[in-house]
Structures are given as C-alpha cells and as structure tokens.
Amino acid sequence: MIEPIVKVLHKPPVLCIEVLSPEDRWRRVLERVRDYQQMGVQAVWIINLRSRDIWIAGHAGEPVLHEEESLTVQGTPVQLPVTEIFAFSDEAPLGDDPDSE
C-alpha cells in the first residue's frame, strides 16, 4: 500500500538522498546527515555527480565511501544500480556554465 504524501513529516523516512552541488561543503553535509540520523532516518546516501563518489551513512555513524555495484537499504526492497545514477546524470548538464545551454 502506498502512503499518501504529507507536507509535515510525522515519522522519519527510510532513506534521504543528498546530491551534492559545487557549493556544498563537507562539514555542512555532515550536519545534515546528523540531523537526518537524529530524526531516525535509517539510511542516507550522499552522491557527488562530478567525482562519481557515493557515501553511505546508516542510522548512526559517519558516512563511508560506497564501492559496491548497487545501493540498498537494509530490510527493504530498495536497490539501485550505481551505474543507473550516473547514467541518468550523464544525460543532464551539471549546470556549471549558464551559457552552455
């Protein structure tokens, strides 16, 4: 059963995904990850499209570099091949140059 979309969260989502922008700083990203963890989020994926790196943070602890072929959320059917993330991002410009459109 699909739950309705709510404007205010009353329970934590299973997964939060942070896609880094050029302006993001690691310290600020870690602050957001800790906020998610304190909220009770089970998993956080941090994706850097430029470097093609992905870090995974569980419900506690620091993010670790992900080196497997698929992203999963333990105890759920969520599974996403890493190649699909980067294939999707390759189709869209990263927005560095406003004149490149």
Is residue 99 one of the residues assigned to a domain? no
Cα separation, 89 vs 38, whole angstroms: 30
pLDDT for the residue 100: 39
pLDDT mean values, one per 10 residues, the chain (101 residues): 75 93 94 94 94 93 95 92 86 53 40
Residue 95 has a pLDDT of 55
The domain in which residue 37 lies consists of 15-92
| Whether the model pTM is above 0.85 | no
**Which pLDDT score is estimated for 87?**
87
pLDDT of residue 18: 96
**CA atoms of 36 and 29, how far apart (whole Å):** 11
The answer to whether 14 and 78 are in contact (CB under 8 A) is: yes
The verdict on residue 73 lying in a domain is yes
Q: Half-sphere exposure of 71 toward its Cβ, with a 13 Å CA cutoff?
A: 23
Residue 54 and residue 2: Cα distance in Å, rounded? 28
Strand order in the sheet with 64-65: 15-19, 43-48, 53-57, 64-65
In a domain, 39, yes or no: yes
Question: Please, how many CA atoms are within 13 Å of residue 61, restricted to the half-sphere of its CB?
Answer: 11
Domain count, the chain: 1
